[in-house]
Amino acid sequence: MVKHIVFAISGFLIVLQLGIFVYREETAEWKGYQATYYKKLAEVVGDPKLANSPIKVTQIWDKKLNRADRCTTCHAGIANPAFENEPQPYTTHPNFKDGGYISKHAFEKFGCTICHEGNGQAVTVAATHGVVKHLDRQPLSGAYVQTACTKCHYELYSRDVYWPEADILMKGRDLAYELGCGACHAIRQFGTNAALAPDISNMGSKTELAFTLVHDFSRIESDDHITRVWEFEHFLDPEKIVPGKPDAPDPKDRTSPTIMPNWGLTEDEATALTVFTLSLRDPDVEDIPAKYFPKIASHEGFLQYR
């Protein structure tokens, strides 16, 4: 009798679990977004049949970049100029129209996470937007997307180059030159090999884990304990974030406060320097095929710092 009861309960739980699985699959949030996109598309084009287009996960896979991005499953209108005034996730990519830089970076060739980082294979909002725990690299949006430009465009480290599309990165680069960051930090992209402070030449290629293992977040005000937040707050007040332990009871634990000057930066300047610092990449880690590099003379001069 007991065996029958156990068997019945087990069977019920299995059926219940299968039911929950089917329900979750049928009501997945991405399906709602995609269905709404097709309805909007049908209205724009004037073809009612499009409203009944098959709902499916779409993926951009690039073997050379070793990336599989499913972002267009929800962001289906990024390459459709007719959706310029639609809300997220249906809207056109902001730099797609009128000869914007996205027009030179075809989605089918570059995908999305080469610039935006994050988890390109996920299809839920929670797993792809904002701060996502346990990712090697956090999703990038706003000004922080500009940290990815230097994966291919090494020429941006030169003050002779200015891109209005990467204005925050340009501001951070110029600030780094003006403040003389290369006098203490090794920045190979600037041709400096200073040793007074940590080498930051590869800062943008470090994983979140690699960064958090060697940085103290206990004095960070933000609840988001990620690299860009630490860097931002550190630029605003270096000694607050890295006060050292000069009075530790055990002499072995004593460390001096940071020698980083407090430049009295504004939040905009701190953001710009953070963007610049995280644009300092290790080409061997990024492993971008040469075919993706721009064919311009000024690019070649910076290959010496690879």
What pLDDT, in 10s, does the model give residues 152-186?
999 999 999 999 999 999 999 999 999 999 999 99
Q: Which residues of 76-92 are buried (b: 16+ CB within 10 A; e: fewer)?
A: bbbbbeebeebeebbbb
- Residue range(s) of every CATH 1.10.760 domain in the chain: 154-299
Q: Which amino acid, 20?
A: I
CATH of region 154-299: 1.10.760
- Over residues 271-301, the pLDDT tens digits come to 999 999 999 999 999 999 988 888 765 545 5
Global pTM? Answer: 0.88
Structural contact between residues 196 and 272, judged by C-beta atoms closer than 8 angstroms: no
Residue 62 is predicted with a pLDDT of: 87
Compute the chain's Rg from CA coordinates.
24
User: Residue 26: which pLDDT band, with cuts at 50, 70 and 90?
Assistant: low
Average pLDDT for residues 111-118, to the nearest whole number?
Answer: 96
Question: Pick from 242, 271, 303, 280: which is nearest to 175 by CA?
Answer: 271
Average pLDDT for residues 49-68, to the nearest whole number?
Answer: 93
CA distance 105 to 13: 49
What SS3 class is residue 71?
helix
CA distance 11 to 7: 6
